[in-house]
């Protein structure tokens, strides 16, 4: 069920919003509804694949950095 909503905004902001809606090929009401939908929807947590999940915590050394990885690759491939 759709219900009317009255907003009080600066006239410049309203004109900018109308122009933006027109550029998007939407009504200002649809732009506001889209924003409210995004604003009120909780972000979905990304799923970690089972393989990646199984690797969490495997390496106990906490002082690894990019240089360590480069040294590993040099040793492996050169």
Using CA atoms, how far apart are residues 65 and 9, in angstroms rounded to an integer? 51
DSSP tag of 56: T
Confidence (pLDDT) at 22: 95
This model's pTM is above 0.85:
no
* Nearest-angstrom CA–CA distance, 21 and 16: 9
Domain boundaries, the chain: 11-40
Section 1-14 average pLDDT: 94
Render pLDDT for 13-53 as a digit per residue (tens, 0 to 9): 999 999 999 999 999 999 999 999 998 988 777 788 888 88
Rounded CA gap, 41 and 28, in Å?
20
Q: What is the mean pLDDT of residues 46-64?
A: 82
**pLDDT computed for residue 33 by the predictor:** 94
H or E element: which one contains 76?
helix 66-77
User: Which pLDDT does position 14 carry in this prediction?
Assistant: 95
**Which residue blocks in the chain are alpha helix, DSSP H?**
11-24, 28-40, 50-55, 66-77
């Amino acid at each position: 069920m759709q219900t009317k909503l009255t907003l009080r905004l600066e006239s410049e902001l309203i004109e900018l919003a109308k122009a933006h809606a027109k550029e998007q090929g939407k009504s200002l009401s649809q732009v506001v509804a889209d924003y409210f939908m995004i604003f009120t929807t909780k972000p979905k947590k990304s799923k970690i694949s089972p393989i990646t999940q199984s690797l969490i915590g495997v390496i106990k050394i906490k002082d690894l950095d990019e240089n360590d990885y480069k040294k590993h690759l040099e040793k492996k491939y050169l």
